[in-house]
A and B are shown apart, each in its own frame.
Chain A
Amino acid sequence: MEWETVIGLEIHAQLTTNSKIFSGSATTFGAEPNTQASLVDLAMPGVLPVLNAEVINCAAKFGLASNSTVAKHSVFARKNYFYPDLPKGYQISQMELPIVHDGYLDIEFEAAGKSDGKLATKRVGITRAHLEEDAGKSLHEDFQGMTGIDLNRAGTPLLEIVSEPEMSSAKEAVAYMKKIHSLVRYLGISDGNMQEGSFRCDANVSVRPVGQKELGTRAEVKNLNSFRFIEKAINHEVERQIDLIEAGGAVVQETRLYDPDKDETRSMRSKEEANDYRYFPDPDLLPVVIDDAFIEAIRAELPELPDAKRARFESEFKLGADDARQLTASREVADYFEAALAAGGEPKQAANWVNVELAGALNKADLSLGESPVTAEMLGGMLKRLADGGLTSKMAKEVFAAMWDGEGSADEVIEKRGLKPTDSSEVEGIIDGIIAANPGQVEQFRSGKEKVFGFFVGQAMKATKGQADPKQVNDLLRAKLKG
């Protein structure tokens, strides 16, 4: 039987506010346990939550950027359950009236069986996005036979973004999650740090025979905190469900936990064991009421978003779709690119350097863009020399490596190392000489043996001791060999 997969994602993005959602405590990651827990975070008797207005701005930004409705009236509700790292015995969240609802995002992904090399596109619905507080952490190590509770994280603001069940492969799910990841970082509302857990997701996965309308029974896979894990966990879960059904079994509605070490999901609790959260509107908090003027003020604050930026890069800099997509995938890269380009380089060359050379070097050194030893200004200086003929592309690689190693700006490196491209009349003379000295090969080339061209290039580079600009050599050779 042929199977179809249906996936919906619930993404939790920690919001980068300075203080918690309902208390004045700081939200810095990694502080000593319980040093960022106030009376409110500890749920002392008699304390009350007070909403941090900044989270409303964050949620509204996300709503506008995701083509959603930003609700003029939203309500915080209590989700009741007992857990040691949930100090109040309930989590303040939103249930019936979330702040953001009914939006969508367009995603692009590599589709199986598509041969033209182009990416497939799809519109994924966003059911809702609501605000809630994070729980603390239970620490099971270091306390023999006991559990430690760290409430620093308790009350950290989260935006939970719930998609429609509209994705049909792990690849689509990853593309959607990357899209949201990029968006929240563009908006500056979340740092998206997946290692620290500030961006994580649960996936609702089900399968059904192709052509069937009703959804299959779903399992919720929790604890997905890297793009790689999401893809693996979903694929694994799809396989498990198909195997189960094909063996005559049935999928049960349950929550499963993904274990990245073993690459498997295992059951956490079934539907029957699920909590009845007894949601009801939190009487300690007033409904959040916002008006059009507020929404318009937020709209005015929105930065250029990834899709718009990408379209601009294509039209303004005449970049190809792939280059533009890669450059705009994160705001940092896009900003780096534009800053580098501002020095006067050539866009296509700049894109290539950022996407290929710089990305490769960073990847190799396991550094983030922010940690790059070559700043945008430094790369811009080099690109400028490339564009004005002060460097050959081969020399540029040497200059880049030197800048990477801390030898200073492009101009300083050029000066120090005495780098200078061979000038074109000189190259022309050398090429004339090579053509004159190799009539046999010239004949071969002219009779259609394209392969011989490489021979000429090699000769020319050898004669110029590698200092000639390969592109210039190529162009001159082509022109002269045509005869």
Chain B
Amino acid sequence: MTSHTTVHTRTLAELSAGLAAGDYTSVELTKACLSRIEQHDGEINSFITVTADNALAAAKVADDRRAAGSAGPLTGIPLAHKDIFCTQGVKTSCGSKMLDNFVAPYDATVVSRLQEAGMVTLGKTNLDEFAMGSTNESSFFGAVRNPWNTACVPGGSSGGSAAALAAGFAPAATGTDTGGSIRQPASFCGVTGIKPTYGRVSRWGMIAYASSLDQGGVFAKTAEDCGMLLQAISGFDEKDSTSADEAVPDFNGGLNSDLKGKKIGVPTEFFGEGLDAEVKALIETALKQYEAMGCELVEVSLPHMHLSVPAYYVVAPAEASSNLSRFDGVRYGHRCDNPEDLADLYLRSRAEGFGDEVKRRIMIGAYALSAGYYDAYYLKAQRIRRLIRDDFTKAFESVDAIAGPVAPTTAFKLGAMKGDPVQMYLSDVYTLALNLAGLPGMSVPAGFADGMPVGLQLIGKHFDEAGLLNLAHQYQQKTDWHSKMPAAFA
């Protein structure tokens, strides 16, 4: 048995070491991933586009680079990009019929930075259409199935990336998180995911859903892996005015710092009505683990958290209604056949190109911004946003991080949320507040309820990703939930 046939069980850090030691080449690693995708992705549907030829060519380049002595820690490691990141010369669909024919003419900053680090792009992963959804069922390219139980959803919107990781198709994947789109699928698929502070990662080339909430991030098997990836993609980008001109620390430099004396805030609002009892029990067990590692649990309150769902579902659709106006059938993307006139071109191109959930949010957003309603909806939502941010600021005066569940339940059954968007929106209750406040958050595997993974959510202060990674890494030293793989894909 050659060593690379089991590479799907290895962490990115282990693969990095294996490549450096010459145990296998990037080409071998890439082939192994491609062959797993080819064999198994029929069951999962995690990829929209697989770029096998490009990947093998990039792997060859990475091997050459290693031979030349200029390889970095990520050089030669394969990864998958959420199909919301523009990739030059490769279809970038955003999960929509609207962009089914769109080949991006440029690379997103996240993509180019990882490329410069020498990573090998395997392809583009499935997602909820324009990242709007919590189940990955709104994709034009079909639903993604959860590798832990293919009758379940992987979560969304970055469902393809989380599922690809859980199924061992790739050791790393990118995602975006507007209201939980990294953390919730990470929780549902039993992988580690981090949504950095708003502004930490450039949004250039990341197709906008809600600009003031969108943030790129990563999935991997471990916190350590996440830190390695985050190191490569973080930092100010002059092409994104909202990217933070903030020093990027060595994220993994403090992974092994002792947690003794760290204060972890436990918001009462995270454990109220609606939280599944088994999920609750697992989160409490995880918190106890932190106590055992020397942390102090402190009860904190986020009194406006219950307003995060209504506030989010005004702000995000409002921005989306404007962001998605550019998809008009004029310059690129879907255009209806034989338009009669301009109005017909707009109406039919957009009616045909967008799916129901996207249309729903565009309508909600346009309504919330319209004359006479702006103050009552958009402005009020922005005020709530400030209250939520203030809640966190106050809580962080007495704690180093906040912990709780990512989602009230484990992964839903496919179709369970169909026809009930409000129920789906309510399931985002624990993740939205972070985006509204711009804070960094993680989902860390914390056990299984009825055979399905449950994620622990860790929330940090602005730009304290290193602190979060330290917390998550220490937990992963004491637990092995993160190294479990679904039996069908082990």
Contact = CB atoms under 8 A, between A and B. Distances in A.
Interface of A: 39, 42-51, 78, 80, 82, 84, 87-90, 149, 276, 278-280, 283-286
B132 to A, nearest CB: 15
A50 B238 contact: yes
- The 7 A-B residue pairs whose C-beta atoms are closest, nearest first, are A89-B325, A283-B212, A278-B369, A283-B211, A46-B205, A43-B326, A45-B207
A48 B322 contact: no
A278 B370 contact: yes
Given A45-B94, A89-B322, A89-B328, A284 B242 contact: yes
Interface of B: 85-86, 92, 94, 99, 102, 104-106, 108, 203-208, 210-212, 238-242, 318-319, 321-322, 324-328, 330-332, 342, 346, 366, 369-371, 374, 378
B104 A78 contact: no
A80 B369 contact: yes
8 contacts: A39-B105, A43-B326, A46-B204, A87-B326, A88-B326, A89-B322, A89-B325, A149-B331
Nearest to A51: B241
Contact of B322 (A47, A90, A285, A286): A90
A82 B325 contact: yes
Contacts of B332: 44-45
A46 B104 CA distance: 10
B331 A48 contact: no
B318 A280 contact: yes
Nearest to B240: A48
Contacts, number: 101
A46 B326 contact: no
Given A42-B331, A45-B104, A278-B366, A50 B241 contact: yes
B369 A284 contact: no
A149 to B, nearest CB: 7
B332 to A, nearest CB: 7
A88 B325 contact: yes
A239 to B, nearest CB: 33
Given A279-B374, A280-B322, A285-B241, 9 more contacts: A39-B105, A44-B86, A46-B208, A84-B328, A89-B325, A149-B330, A278-B374, A280-B374, A286-B242
Contacts of A43: 326, 331
B371 A90 contact: no
Given A280-B318, A285-B241, A47 B325 contact: no
B133 to A, nearest CB: 18
A276 B371 contact: yes
A410 B175 CA distance: 76
Given A43-B331, A280-B369, A84 B241 contact: no
Contacts of B104: 44-46
A332 B116 CA distance: 52
Contact of A49 (B206, B241, B326): B241
Contacts of B242: 48, 283-286
A89 B326 contact: yes
A276 B325 CA distance: 14
Nearest to A39: B106
Nearest to B208: A46
